[in-house]
Structure 1
Amino acid sequence: MSLFEKIRGEFVDIIEWLDSTNDTMVYRFQRYNNEIKMGAKLTVRPGQKTVFVNEGRIADCFGPGMYTLSTQNLPILTTLMGWPYAFNSPFKAEVYFFNTRIFTNLKWGTSNPIILRDAELGPVRLRAYGTYNVRIVQPEVLLQELVSTDGLFQVDEVSDHIRNMIMTAFTSSIGAAQVPLFDLASRYQEISNTIRQNMQADVQRFGLDLTQLLIENISLPPEVEAALDKRASIGVLGNMQQYTQYQVANSIEQSAQNPSGGNSFLELGVGLAMAQQVTNALNPNAAQSQQPPAAAPQPATSPAAAPPPPPQPQWYLSRDGQTFGPFPVNPLLQQGLTAQTYVWRSGMNGWQFANAVPELAVLLPPSPPPAP
C-alpha cells in the first residue's frame, strides 16, 4: 500500500466493497495494518454480508445497511479487545465481505461414461451434463470451512468440489431409480430434484445452499445412437416391400436420365428385372402365384394336347391400412382371411368383405347361430 493510501486512511475510514468480477464469493477488505478507526462507516449492500475477525476469532457479523462502528455496533469485538476508554483509537480487525447473491449457470458433467443396466437395451454407457446454482447462506461456516485466510475466494475454488458431489449423487440416484432409458427425458425434472435433495446436507456443511440443479442432456455413445436411429427409421418406413419398390423405381428413373451414355432401354429392362427379383424375395407367395403352372402330363394315347387350364384369379387382402398379395384362393385362409377381411381381384368394382363374395364365402368356417 502506498503512502498516499495510508494517509488517506487516517482521515477517511469508509469500509465498503463493490464487486466487479461477478464470480467472487468472499473478499477481505484491505486496510493498512488492518487498522480501522472507531466511528468508521461500514456499508453493506443488498446481497452482501460482513464478518469481522479479530485474532483468528469471529467477532461480529453485519447484514445489509450502513453502520457507524462503535461500542454499540461492535459488542463482541469490544469485549474481545477489552477497551476501557472512549474507543477513539484505531482497532485492528479483518473484515470479510461475503457475496450472498445466487451464482448461476455453473457447469457439471461426467468426465467418464456411467455404466448402467437398462431393462430393454441391457448394459449401456451414459454421459450427462447440466448446470446448477449456489449461494452463501452461512458466512461464518464458509469462512471456517473453506475460506480461512484467503483474501479473494472465487466460485471456481468450490465449484469443482460441488461438481464431484453432483456426479456421485447423480450416479447413485439414477441407478436407484431404474428409469427405462427411453423414459429418461420425461423424468429430468424429477431426477434433478432428487439429486439436489440428496446432496443438500453435504453442501450445507460448507455454509452454502444448492438452490437449483438442472439436467440438460443424458446421452448414449455415438454408435448406440446411430443404431437407435436406424431402428426408428425402420419403424417410420412401415411397409418395407412398398418402400423397396419405391426406391427401385427412383433408381430406374435416375438411370434413365443419366446423360453419360448407355442404352437407356436396356437399363430400364435391367431395372425392371431387379425390381421383380426384389419383390419376389420379399413376397415369396406372390412369386409362386406368378409362376405359370406346370403343364399336365399328356397321356400317350391322346391324339391331341389338352387345352391349358384357365388361370386362377389372384386375390388381394387389405388389413390395417396395408395391402397384401396377390394370392391364389387356396392359401387365403393361411394369410389371415376372415369374414370381415376386405378382398379384391381383377374384375371387381371395389373392395368387399370376404363373406360377401360367394367364391370366398364357401372357404370360411360357418358362423355359429345367435345365442338362445
Structure 2
Amino acid sequence: MGIFDIFTKQFIDVIEWVDDAPGILSYRYPMQDREIQNGAKLTVRNTQLALFINEGKAADLFKPGLHTLTTNTLPILTTLRNWDKAFKSPFKSDVIFFSTKDQIDQRWGTSSPVIVNDVKYGTMRIRANGTYTYKIVKPEIFFSKLSGIQELYTTTDVENQLRSIIITSFASFLGNLQMSFIELAANQVELSQNLKKALAGHFANYGLSLESFFVQSISLPEEIQQYVDKASSMSVLGDLNKYANFQTAESITLAAKNEGGLAGVGASVGIGAAIGQSMQGMLNQNNSQNNTDSDPMELINKLHDMHTKGIITKEEFESKKAELLKRIK
C-alpha cells in the first residue's frame, strides 16, 4: 500500500441505517474505498437486522442493539478471513441491513382466470384477488435467494415472484377442493385461512413469514355468472305450480285494494280468478310442451335439425338417436 492510498482510504467507525423508508426490504451499506475500523460501532434498530457478507456469502448476523465490531463479535467472518484473534487492522466487508417490519397491504390477483372443477357446475374459470402481509425473518435465506448485494431491494422487486407463488398455490389448492363455487364464495374466511397455511412454507423458502392472507373477492366470467344467477333463481322459485298459486293470491290481494266497495271486491275476485286461469293455462301449455319433448321421434327430428345446422356432430346425433330409439316400444 502506497502512502497516498493511506490518505485517500476512508475508515468507518459507525455503521447504521437511518432512512429505512416504507417498501425497502434491504439496504447495502456503501463500502466503496472504505474499510471498517476494528472496534467500530454497529447500530441495529428495533425493526432491523444486519448481515455481514464475505465474498458473496452470508457471515455474521446482528440483531437489534449497539454492537462493537471485533474478532469476538464477528466469529464467522474471523474464521472465513483466517484472522488471528488479536487482529486489529481495518477490514473490508459488505454489510446489508434488512427491514423486519410487516409489509402490509400487499396486493395479489389472478391476471387471467384460473380453471377449476366445480363439483356442481363442472369446469369453470374463476378470478380472485385479495391482500397479504409478510416480513423478513431469515435474512441469510432472503439474501441468498432474492436480494443479493443490490444496493436497495424493495417490495416491488419481489412482488411478481410472490404473486406467482400465490396464484400457482391458489389454482392447485382449488383443484383439489371438493366444493362448489357458491360454497367457495360463501366461505372466504375459511378459504383465506387454509390458503395461508398452504402458502406459509413457500414464503419460508425465501426467508419470509406470511403474517396474513385474505381472499377478498371471487368472481366468474360474466356469461357464467349469468348462468349461475339464473340457476339460483330457478332454485328459489321451486315448484311452478306453487309459484303460480302464490302469484294468483298476490294478484287477488292487490286487486282487492281497489276502490268500489263490495262490487269492487267482487270484481277483484273475478280478476283474481282470471289471473289464476291464465297461470294454469300457461302451466298446462308447458306440460303439453314437455310431453311433446319427451316423444322420442320428435326429439330425433330436433336432433337431426341440430345436426344439419352444425350444432352437434354426426357422432353425437347417432349416439343420441340410438338411445332414443330404444325408448320406442
Calculate the TM-score normalised by the size of structure 1: 0.60
* Distance across 1 between alignment mates of 2:217 and 2:147: 33
Contact 1:42/1:67, CA 8 A, preserved across alignment = yes
Quickly say closer, same or farther: Cα 1:225–1:94, change in 2 above 3 A.
same
Quickly say closer, same or farther: Cα 1:109–1:244, change in 2 above 3 A.
farther
* Distance across 1 between alignment mates of 2:110 and 2:86: 60
Quickly say closer, same or farther: Cα 1:145–1:118, change in 2 above 3 A.
closer
* Distance across 1 between alignment mates of 2:85 and 2:280: 107
The aligned residue for residue 153 of structure 2 is: 153
Residues 106-255 of structure 1: pairs in structure 2 closer than 5 A: 106-232=106-232, 235=236, 239-240=243-244, 243=247
Contact 1:47/1:100, CA 8 A, preserved across alignment = yes
1:280 aligns with 2:273: no
The aligned residue for residue 97 of structure 1 is: 97
Quickly say closer, same or farther: Cα 1:286–1:172, change in 2 above 3 A.
closer
* Distance across 1 between alignment mates of 2:283 and 2:175: 51
Contact 2:12/2:37, CA 8 A, preserved across alignment = no
Q: Deviations over 1:302-356 (max 9, x none)?
A: xxxxxxxxxxxxxxxxxxxxxxxxxxxxxxxxxxxxxxxxxxxxxxxxxxxxxxx
Paired letter, 2:145: E
**Other structure's SS at 1:37 match:** strand
Contact 2:11/2:35, CA 8 A, preserved across alignment = no
* Distance across 2 between alignment mates of 1:79 and 1:119: 60
**Other structure's SS at 1:71 match:** coil
Paired letter, 1:192: S
1:75 aligns with 2:79: no
The structure with the largest helix share of the pair is 2
Q: Larger relative contact order (C-alpha < 8 A, sep ≥ 6)? A: 2
Q: CA RMSD in A?
A: 3.8
Q: Deviations over 1:112-154 (max 9, x none)?
A: 1123333333332211111222221211111112222211111
Is the deviation greater in 47-56 or in 237-246?
237-246
**Other structure's SS at 1:179 match:** coil
* Distance across 1 between alignment mates of 2:71 and 2:32: 22
* Distance across 2 between alignment mates of 1:130 and 1:286: 47
The aligned residue for residue 298 of structure 1 is: none
* Distance across 1 between alignment mates of 2:85 and 2:177: 66
* Distance across 2 between alignment mates of 1:84 and 1:175: 58
The aligned residue for residue 63 of structure 1 is: 63
* Distance across 1 between alignment mates of 2:159 and 2:251: 54
Quickly say closer, same or farther: Cα 1:10–1:170, change in 2 above 3 A.
same
* Distance across 2 between alignment mates of 1:62 and 1:48: 9
* Distance across 1 between alignment mates of 2:272 and 2:249: 7
* Distance across 2 between alignment mates of 1:236 and 1:285: 16
Quickly say closer, same or farther: Cα 1:207–1:240, change in 2 above 3 A.
same
* Distance across 2 between alignment mates of 1:173 and 1:85: 54
Paired letter, 2:61: C
**Other structure's SS at 2:176 match:** helix
The aligned residue for residue 332 of structure 1 is: none
The CA deviation at 1:104 is: 1.9
* Distance across 2 between alignment mates of 1:222 and 1:244: 34
Larger radius of gyration: 1
* Distance across 2 between alignment mates of 1:146 and 1:129: 25
The aligned residue for residue 289 of structure 2 is: none
Quickly say closer, same or farther: Cα 1:121–1:86, change in 2 above 3 A.
closer
The CA deviation at 1:249 is: 10
* Distance across 2 between alignment mates of 1:107 and 1:76: 38
* Distance across 2 between alignment mates of 1:241 and 1:84: 97
Paired letter, 1:239: Y
Contact 1:14/1:41, CA 8 A, preserved across alignment = yes
Paired letter, 1:92: K
Paired letter, 1:51: L
Could you list the runs of 5+ residues in structure 1 that have no partner in the other structure? 1-6, 254-272, 288-372
Paired letter, 1:282: M
* Distance across 1 between alignment mates of 2:152 and 2:26: 6
Q: Deviations over 1:169-218 (max 9, x none)?
A: 11121121211222113433333333333343333222222232221111
Quickly say closer, same or farther: Cα 1:243–1:231, change in 2 above 3 A.
farther
Is the deviation greater in 179-188 or in 227-236?
227-236
The CA deviation at 1:160 is: 1.2
Q: Deviations over 1:10-60 (max 9, x none)?
A: 587321113443111111012342422222211111121111112333331
The CA deviation at 1:84 is: 5.4
Paired letter, 1:281: S
Identical positions, percent: 35
Calculate the TM-score normalised by the size of structure 2: 0.67
1:41 aligns with 2:41: yes
